[in-house]
Structure 1
Amino acid sequence: MPEGLAADRPARSDRAFVTLVTNDDFALGARALLRSLRLNAGSDADLCVMHTGGVSEAALAPLRDRARLVRIGLLPTSDDFNAAHARDRLHGLAPFTRGEKPVFHTPLDNFAKLRLWQLDYDRVVFLDADTLVLRPIGRLFDYPEFCAAPNVYEGLGDFHRMNSGVFTARPDPETFAAMLARLNVPGAFWRRTDQTFLQDYFPDWHGLPVFDNMLQYVWFNLPELWRWADIRVLHFQYEKPWQDHAKADRLRPLIELWRAYAGEGEVPDSRSLPDPA
């Protein structure tokens, strides 16, 4: 594999569902995501977890028999770039006013997501580790690069921004090199890290339906948009379902669904769940 990547086994397909794990907390999310993919994805594509050195072996162990693990290094960005995107400075310049990022959120780690363009697959569907797949999504492998859903969770204005929690990609070393050349330029500041960068790099991004990346705040902000029968991917943006947090009571049905996938018992058919009032 290219420099900076090391896989624990060969690829078994030219297509893969890929996620990124940068710490032990996100490994918890990845475990539930992988189970949801096994049960619901409707595809025999490879399952691949990219992970950085920030993840302990104990946290990786439950993932080893569920997916191909690819250790990756953080991107070779400059000291000025790293300082600009350090947690305290980035959150100070671009504060989160609608939700709370968890304490384990390290913004600079997000850029490691670009390593997927170095992977030895022809086609990739990327999913953040805080997502669940509830309905088949294999059709996305036949979508072009770059497809993503809008960042909808509050109102119509959200449609102007994309969310990088679910997207389609075509790994290519030339694309990766071009991304690095644009990413790390003097004075660069990507307000929402990989999300802002990817929207800039792919300005004509193809829009997926919001049901391919349904953000959890829609549950209480836009309940008329929420229908369990339509949702293919559920995304726990901001607060995570394995945390204790201030919005947990408002999101209880979603958290209980995540816990079912995170365990070993039966999981409910999401289509049987009641929609928000």
Structure 2
Amino acid sequence: MTVSTETFAFVADLVRRRSAIRLGAGKEYLVESRLLPLARAAGALDVDAYVARLRAGREAGGHEAVVEALTTNETSWFRDVAPFDALRDHVVPAWSATAAPGARLRVWSAACSTGQEPYSVAMVLAGCSLPDATILATDLSTEVLDRARDGLYTQLEVSRGLPGAMRARHLVREGGGWRVSAALRRAVTFQRHNLLDPAPAGGPFDVVLLRNVLIYFDRDDRRAVLDRVHRVLQPGGWLVLGAAESPVGVHDGFERVVLDRTTLYRTTPGGPL
């Protein structure tokens, strides 16, 4: 069974307005699979019935729950590896060579999901002897942020990309899972943030990670988000995108820099096209 055309259109429009993520034709299966747990928890017969109740205003908080369910993205430790190598081998040394005495490296991990990305960054910075760096991690979903703050991961989650040496140094066994050490959890501040809103406080940032998010936005929304990011990045600050993403042709405030096996983007004085 798949959701009706009316249900899909309503959900797609809701998600688009609240998060800028576009659910194109063919994503009906995603809507059904993500919303079925919400429907069951609400005692609805199926997703169509649940959305009908939502449209009638009989599900308090339902709109936010639907958006969160459809915007929770895939994540893992040290995802794609190369950007974290570039952070360790190039970005941090370059920053350290020019930073004023007492300065702190400031990092924003946007759309951080359940926290593996910002904790991976914290591990890298700890290895670079930057214990006082500040890491802000944001996401639209309060549910994934609660999980990220808690820092407890299953064995399966820990096995996805986390090197054994990093696990031994930064995680402790707890029950059937693993918890991020207190020191590492203190290094990351988690905060709810919608990328459609103005950038969060805490900048200007030296590094912004905005990975595997822009691919879900249309060109105008990509440009708007990139403009907000550009405004809160230090001159010469670094933007880290997903492998399939680029500001080229969307925003002229970034220059492409190839670092070993990955490509990062550095701020230039320019503004939007």
Normalised TM-score (structure 2): 0.30
Greater RCO (CA < 8 Å, at least 6 residues apart): 1
The structure that has the greater radius of gyration is 2
Normalised TM-score (structure 1): 0.30
- Higher helix proportion (structure 1 or 2): 2
